Amino acid sequence: MPPVQQVSPGSQSDMENKLPLKRTKDDLDHMTPPELQNGKRFKGKHKSLNFNSLPLECQLHVFSYLTVREKCQASCTCKKWRDILCSPNLWTVADFTHLMCCELDGLAEKVSFGRIRENETPLPVRNHTCCPTSSESFTSKVSQFVNFLCDRNAQLKILSFEFDLFEEKEMWLYQMNKLLKATNSVGLTKVFGRWSFTPHFMIKYYRSSLDDKHTRVGSFQKLLKTLHETSPYVQHFRIQFDWSMTSVELLCKFQQIHTLELSKYWVFVRTLQSAVDALLDGLPNLKRLHLEMISPFQLGSSHQLYTLRSATLEELDIRRSPGFFLLSVNLPKLRCFSSQRETWAGPVLSRDYLNIPCLHTILMDGAHNLANFNGFPLGSDWRTRICAVFEQKLKSSCYCPKHKKGNLFL
C-alpha cells in the first residue's frame, strides 16, 4: 500500500480556500431575506414607485428641474399635476428673451418657453429671427406671460429681458413694473437686461435722436426705482449703464450686489472719474466687476486715465473697454485681472497726448494679491520676476511704450 500522505494544518487550510464552499440549506436560508425564503415572495414589497404617492415636497422638487415649456406640458397631464404646477415657488425665472414668434405653439403660446433654470445664466446676446407678424405676436406673448406669472404669484429669482423701455409710451416699462409689483419678487437676485432696444421692433420703431436717448435713460431709472422698491436684495446685474450720477446713486441702493456686468449705452461719451468712484465706494459687497465702455480721445487734451479703489473687489474685467486706461489701482483683494489691447483705429498720436503707464507697474503697486492675469496663473514672485509667458500677456494688453510697438506714437 502506498504511504499515507500527511497534510499539515496550514496546507489543509490552503486547499479549502481553493475549493468551492458547499453550503447547506440552513446556511442558504440564513442568507436569504425572509420574504424570499422557501420560494415565497412577501406580497406588498418591491412595488414600482408611484410618483403621485410621493410627498408634496418631493414632487415640487422634481418639477423644479423642468423648463417652462416642460412645466406647461406636464400641467396638461391631470388636474393634480396642474394644481401642483401652479405653486408659486415653481415659477422663479421670468425670461422674456426666448419669446420668439416662431417658437411657440398650442398651450405654449399662453406662456413662455424660456430655457433657463434658476441656477443658469441667460446668454447676453442672441440672434433673433423675425417674421412679418413678429411685433404684434411678441407684444401679445409678453403680456400673456406677465399675466401668467402674476396669476401664480411667482416667486421670482431671475429676470431677463430685451426691451426698449421708452418704446410706445413706455409700454415695456409698464409690463416690467406690473410683473415686479404683482408677483413675489422680494427674492429676486439676478437681473439681466438690455433696455435700449427691442430686437423685434428695431426696424419699425427705430429712434436715434438725442432727446430720445436722454428720455430712455429716464425710463431705465424708473425701472431701477421699482426694482429697489420690490426687489432690494438683487446681487447680480448684467445691464446697459449710462454712468449718470442719478443712475449710479440708484444702483448703489442695492447694497447686496456682488457682481456687476455693465455694458455701454452712450458711445464716445467720457465717463467721469467721480462716477466710477461713487459706484465703487457705494457697493460694500462688490466682488466682480466687468466693464464695457468707450473713452474717446479728444484732440488738444490728454487722454483720461482712471483710478480704481475698492476694498472688496476680487475680479476685474476691462477687455471690452477700448480707451479705458488705468492710472493706478488700490485693490488689495484683487485676484483676477483681464484686459485686452484693441486694434488702434485712430490717428497717430504724440507722446504728449497719450502717455499710458505700464500695467505691470500699476498692478504691482496696487494689487499685491493678484493670482491670475488674462487667464495666466501667476507665481508668488510675479512682482519681481516676469516670465516669458507673462511678458507676452503684457504685450497683448498693455499700451505703455515698453510693451506697445508699432505706429501708435510719433
The maximal CA–CA distance of the chain, rounded, in angstroms, is 122
> Given pLDDT bands bounded at 50, 70 and 90, which one contains residue 301?
low
What pLDDT was estimated at residue 55? 83
Report the candidate in 401, 403, 398, 368 with the shortest Cα–Cα distance to residue 382: 368
Q: Specify the higher pLDDT residue, 2 or 159.
A: 159
Residue 126 has pLDDT above 60, yes or no: no
Q: Which residues of 25-64 are buried (b: 16+ CB within 10 A; e: fewer)?
A: eeeeeeeeeeeeeeeeeeeeeeeeeeeeeeeeeebeeebe
| pLDDT tens figures, 198-255 | 876 654 445 557 778 899 999 999 999 999 999 999 999 999 999 999 999 999 999 9
- Give the pLDDT confidence score for residue 346 in this predicted structure: 57
- Residue 264 DSSP SS3: strand
Specify the 3-state DSSP secondary structure of 148. Answer: helix
Say what the pLDDT of residue 124 is.
40
- List, for residues 365-406, the tens digit of each pLDDT value: 999 999 999 999 999 999 999 999 999 999 888 888 888 765
Residues 6+ apart with CB under 8 A from 348: 407, 408, 409, 410
Burial of 98 (0-12, 13-18, 19+ CB in 10 A): buried
pLDDT for res 168? 82
What pLDDT is stored for residue 300 in this prediction? 55
Beta strand 336-338 with 315-317: parallel, antiparallel or unpaired? parallel
Q: Which of 113, 116, 132 is nearest to 65 (CA)?
A: 116
Give the global pTM. 0.77
Strand 305-309 relative to strand 288-291: parallel, antiparallel, unpaired?
unpaired
Residue 110 banded pLDDT, cuts 50, 70, 90:
very low
User: C-alpha angle with apex 335: 334 to 339, nearest 5 degrees?
Assistant: 85
pLDDT of residue 352: 55
Average pLDDT over every residue of 17-25: 50
Band (pLDDT 50/70/90 cuts) for residue 108 is: very low
Q: Using DSSP bridges, classify how beta strands 376-377 and 336-338 pair: parallel, antiparallel or unpaired.
A: unpaired
Q: Which residue has the higher pLDDT, 102 or 75?
A: 75
**Average pLDDT of the chain?**
79
Nearest Cα neighbor of 67 from 121, 114, 106, 126 is 114
Residue 407's pLDDT band, with cuts at 50, 70 and 90, is very low
Dig out the grid coordinates for 350 from the structure.
504724440
Q: Which residue has the higher pLDDT, 72 or 5?
A: 72
pLDDT band at 179; cut points 50, 70, 90: very high
Give me the mean pLDDT over the 146-167 stretch: 92
Q: At what angle do helices 210-230 and 167-182 cross, to 10 degrees?
A: 10
Average pLDDT over residues 18-29: 51
Following DSSP, what letter does each residue of 291-320 receive, concatenated?
Answer: E-------TTSPPPEEEEE-SS--EEE-TT
Q: Angle, to 10 degrees, between the axis of helix 134-151 and the axis of helix 167-182?
A: 20
